[in-house]
Structure formats: structure tokens, C-alpha cells
Amino acid sequence: MTDTLILNARLVDPASGLDQIGGLLVRDGRIADLGPALGRPDGAIVIDAEGAVLCPGLVDMRAELGEPGGEFRETIASAAIAAAAGGITTLAALPDTEPAIDDASLVRLLRARGEETGALTVLPYAAVTKGRRGEELAELGLLREAGAVAFTDGSRAVASARVMRIALAYAAQWGARIVQHPEEPSLAGSGCATQGELATRLGLPAIPPAAEALMVWRDIRLARMTGGAIHFAHVSTAEALDLIRAAKAEGLNVTCDTAPPYFDLNETAIGDFRTYAKLSPPLRAESDRLAVVAALADGTIDAIASDHQPRDADDKRLPFAQAAPGGTGLATLLAVTLAQVHGGKIPLAKALGLLTVAPARLLGAEAGTLAKGAAADLCLFDLERSWRVEAGEMPGKAQNTPFDGRALEGRVLGTWKAGRRVFG
């Protein structure tokens, strides 16, 4: 493989605290050297970054890929295209497939399919329960040995306290986390919007925000009881974040992530029944959005995930209450996060840390750093370049973006996977 030398870049590596102008040399798929003054090896491909930011490839810790069983919505290959356009080089895939990822052979299949793309490392989550039905535990030990990075029933909450208690205790034996969709299902019911004036005015079945906090409270209590590690996905309410903040202060093994819609949008984005903005959990009140922003800044939230949920036209061209929840997120993950940097809410290094080294550590992945010798998984982006999100023109199959029409600053210029340029 020919050496690649990227010069005049703003090197930002949250893992080491590096933030300086310099160059980075890629050799044999790994970072050979980096710093302010690098020589030019004979025959190297030289790229002038012209001051653009060069950071580790993004690590997305929550995405639905559709494959197997939902290839008409998204395949691993099409997701890899969208991920590369968004600067993502490592992705944790949910078990929300048909069949569910509750068998060791399926875990190995997803890893292999990711490798086949040459652009994306796929780290499979395995289901906590067989078929994601919430009743009988899957074979957690075998799944872990096959390469599952953690256990989750994906978009379904593990509703049974007994099942969750046993799962937390068993997963702890293999040093694994249980990732929970924090929504008490009997309270959420068939709701599709956050309880409040807007849902009432639109006549939509509503979900009380307390449905999130109740599940968070229960599972924190179970984590305390078992000593297990619990991770709450796409946290979206102030009350739940307060509970997580207190659990961390107590020293419990509790972590969480959120997704860009919950710090960039509020419930008004559903407008007059705009189904692209129908998500799970639903978009919240402005006070909750501000609480999510504050939790990003103070460290309560450990990572930002895309929460990518591909849907096709037939899923969304329905009355709001009947439409499938979910939005795409791979290509917009970085730029929507950078809006918080441009708005002065969080520093650039912190934002990138939430997208790289922090999720890598949570997943136990060898990714998210610009260290010498590390795999040359890289993202080069222009912090100031503006663009507009346009449904129908997004990379990958799925076009159901809640950010349709949103003007953003921060454009990916190039993505490298193990030293090979896969975008730009």
C-alpha cells in the first residue's frame, strides 16, 4: 500500500488531548507518524488539508442496519456508503433484524459483512432475550465469545424486572454491558408523541416523559443490586438525566448516550404530522432539549450515537400515529453535533470525544484515536463549510431524515478506513 501523507491539517485527537496544526503519515494501513513537521517519503500520496480538521474516524455506538431481513430498507453495504460520507468508520449494529441477532453465527456474519465493505467495522450487539421477546435470556456467553460487544433488545425495552436483573448479573461475568431502550412500555402504550399541549392539540396518543425516567430508575436500582453495567440509549428527558447523574455520583456502573435529534430538535419539529420527525423516543419539550445539551457539557452523557433507523417510503407515508418511528442519522451525525460547537455549547475536542474515543471505550473497540501504530481510520472535515440536508439526496438507501431542509456547518471532505480512502 502506498504511503499517504496528509499535511496542513488541524490534528484533533480527544484521546490524547492533541489539537495542533501538522501532518499525519499513513503506512501499511496504520498511523506511522504525526506532528508539526513531517518529512515527505518518496512516492507518498500527499494531500494538503488546507487547515481542515483531521480526527479519528467516528465510532457510532447505535445504528440499525436492516440486514438480515430488512434489506429493502438498508443493507450493510449501503449503510457503509452513508457512514463513510459521515466520517464513520466503526459502527455498533443493533439486533433489530429478522431474525434477531440472538445466535452466535449471526454475530459472526455481521462482523464478516462489515469487513467485506472495506469501509466499515461492524460491531454487533446481540439480543438480551431470544427473539427480542423479553422472555427468555439468549445464550449471552456464546454470543459474547462470538464477538458481541454488548447486549440489548434494541428498540424494545426489557420490560421484565426479573429478566433484567438476571441479564445484568450474567453479563457482568463477561464484562459486558446491557444497553436499554429506556421506556416503560405499559406506560408508553401506543403513544407516538410526548404528552403535552402539542400532542393534545394534534389529537395524537401521547407518551408521558416519565415513561423514560421510570425505566431508568428501575434499572439503576437493579444495577445497584447486581453490580452489573447498564447503559441507557438515546436519553431524552431532564428527569432521566438527573437520575443518571446521581447514579454516577454514587459510583454505579451506569452510562448513557443521546442522539442528535434530542439536542437539536424539539417536539415542534413534528409540525402538522411530519412523519420524518416521528422518532422513538419521541421528540421532547424544549426544556428537555436544553437539559440534554447541559448534560453533554457536564459529562453526564457519555457518547453521541446516530440512532440510525432506516425506513422506506411505505413506512412513513401513513397517518402520523400509524407511521413507523425512526430517522436516518449516519450522514448527519457529525454536522448536527458540530452545531453545538458553533453555538458555543461544547468545545470541539469534547464534541469529537463524544463521537470517537468515548464510544470506542464503551464498546471495548480498538478505535477512536490518532495514536502512532493505531489503525488509520480517519475523518477529515471542514468545520465551517455549509450544506443543506435534502431527503432524497442522502447517501445510502434510507432517506427518512428528521433534519430534512436543515442548514448545517461542517462537511466531511475525506474518510479513510485502515489507510484506504473510502470517501472524498
Sign of the four-CA dihedral 234, 296, 151, 359: positive
Same-domain check for residues 196 and 65: yes
Chosen domain end from 363, 387, 412? 363
pLDDT at 171 over 90: yes
71: left (phi over 0), alpha (psi -120 to 50) or beta: alpha
Instruction: Tell me the pLDDT tens digit for each residue of 27-50.
Output: 999 999 999 989 889 899 999 999
CATH number, domain of 161, equals: 3.20.20.140
The pLDDT confidence band at residue 105, using thresholds 50, 70 and 90, is very high
Residue-wise burial string across 48-87, b where 16 or more C-beta atoms lie within 10 A, e elsewhere: ebeebbbbbbbbbbbbbbbbbebeebbbbbbbbbbbbbbb
Regarding whether 115 and 210 lie in a shared domain, the answer is yes
Task: Tell me if 322 is assigned to some domain.
Answer: yes
Residues 26, 77, single domain; the answer is no
Residues with Cβ < 8 Å from 175, sequence gap 6 or more? none
Q: Residue 125 and residue 384: Cα distance in Å, rounded?
A: 35
The predicted structure's pLDDT at residue 40? 87
Per DSSP, the three-state class of 76 is helix
In a domain, 368, yes or no: no
- In sequence order, the β-bridge partners of residue 31 are 26
Residue 323 belongs to some domain of the structure: yes
Bridge partner list, 19: 12
Q: Return the amino acid letter for 210.
A: A
Residue 307 a catalytic site member: yes
Tell me: pLDDT of 240 over 90: yes
Report yes or no on 163 lying in a domain: yes
Predicted confidence (pLDDT) per residue in 191-227, tens digit: 999 999 999 999 999 999 999 999 999 999 999 999 9
Average pLDDT, the chain: 97
Residue 238 and residue 263 in one domain? yes
pLDDT classification of 232: cutoffs 50, 70, 90: very high
Q: Residue 129 carries which DSSP code?
A: B
Residues 28 and 139 in one domain: no
Given a contact cutoff of 8 angstroms between Cβ atoms, the answer to whether 376 and 25 are in contact is no
Model confidence over 108-126: pLDDT tens digits?
999 999 999 999 999 999 9
| Catalytic-labelled residue, pool 96, 307, 315, 377 | 307
Residues whose CB falls within 8 Å of the CB of residue 90, separated by 6 or more in sequence, listed in order: 57, 58, 59, 60, 120, 121, 123, 360, 365, 367, 368, 377
pLDDT attached to residue 37: 85
Task: Judge if 121 and 144 occupy the same domain.
Answer: yes
Residue 371 lies in a domain: no
Q: Is residue 229 within 8 Å of 176, Cβ to Cβ? A: yes
Residue type for position 2: T
pLDDT score, position 1: 80
Is the same domain home to 359 and 406? Answer: no
Q: What percentage of the chain reaches a pLDDT higher than 90?
A: 98
Residue 309 φ then ψ, to 5°: -135, 95
Count of domains in the chain?
2
Residues 292 and 393 in one domain: no
3-state secondary structure of 348: helix
Looking at residue 302, the DSSP 8-state letter turns out to be -
- Per residue in 245-303, pLDDT tens? 999 999 999 999 999 999 999 999 999 999 999 999 999 999 999 999 999 999 999 99
CATH of residue 23: 2.30.40.10
Residue 370 lies in a domain: no
Question: 274 and 318, same structural domain?
Answer: yes
Q: How confident is the model at residue 99 (pLDDT cuts 50, 70, 90)?
A: very high
Q: Say what the pLDDT of residue 39 is.
A: 85
Tell me the average pLDDT across 384-397.
Answer: 97
Residues 260 and 229 reside in one and the same domain: yes
| pLDDT tens track for 316-348 | 999 999 999 999 999 999 999 999 999 999 999
User: Do 259 and 168 sit in the same domain of this protein?
Assistant: yes
Cα gap 421→424, rounded to integer Å: 7
Please name the residues in contact with 305: beta carbons below 8 A apart, sequence gap of 6 or more.
60, 61, 62, 63, 92, 233, 234, 257, 258, 259, 329, 333, 359
Q: How confident is the model at residue 369 (pLDDT cuts 50, 70, 90)?
A: very high
Q: What pLDDT does residue 267 have?
A: 98
Total Cβ atoms within 10 A of residue 368:
28
395 touches 310 (CB < 8 A): no
**Taking CA 180 as the corner, what is the angle to CA 285 and CA 230, rounded to the nearest 5 degrees?**
115
The domain of 409 spans 4-53+376-423
Contact between residue 383 and residue 348 where contact means Cβ atoms under 8 Å apart: yes
* Residue 326 pLDDT: 97
Residues 284 and 147 in one domain: yes
